[in-house]
């Protein structure tokens, strides 16, 4: 079996662990309990990205994960030696509230969440 990368944005005041559990439960509801369903539910827990010390905006988090896309020097997260791996913990980046939230922004797991809330960006490799 293979692996696929995933990203899940969560907005709200939940702790990292509680937000992770909510997204895993939603993934089970949406995709079933198959251990190869290609979602966050195939990870074994969550840790905060060790390189991130303070909350970031969503745009800053994207630039951190994908520097090549944003014209910065660096390697995209999945090509780094130290990065989330299949069957291991997902990694999380704390997110700052956004000044100008887009009310039409949607996520596969949460419809029209409020970006004016703090949150988490979870990412990693899901088994599929």
H helical segments located in 1-128: 16-31, 58-65
Those residues with Cβ within 8 angstroms of residue 11's Cβ, 6 or more apart along the chain or in another chain = 95, 110, 113, 114, 115, 117, 118, 119
- Span 7-30, pLDDT tens digits: 999 999 999 999 999 999 999 898
pTM equals 0.84
- Span 40-99, pLDDT tens digits: 999 999 999 999 999 999 989 999 998 888 777 777 776 676 778 787 899 999 999 987
Contact 23, 120 (CB under 8 A): no
Strand partners, 124: 6
């Amino acid at each position: 079996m293979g692996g696929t990368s995933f990203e899940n944005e969560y907005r709200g005041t939940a702790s990292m662990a509680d937000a992770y559990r909510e997204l895993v439960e939603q993934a089970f509801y949406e995709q079933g309990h198959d251990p190869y369903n290609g979602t966050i539910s195939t990870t074994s827990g969550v840790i905060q990205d060790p390189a991130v010390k303070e909350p970031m905006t969503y745009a800053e988090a994207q630039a951190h994960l994908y520097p090549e896309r944003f014209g910065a020097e660096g390697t995209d997260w999945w090509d780094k030696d130290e990065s989330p791996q299949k069957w291991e913990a997902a990694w999380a980046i704390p997110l700052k509230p956004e000044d100008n939230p887009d009310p039409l922004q949607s996520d596969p797991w949460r419809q029209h969440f409020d970006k004016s809330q703090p949150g988490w960006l979870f990412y990693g490799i899901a088994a599929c």
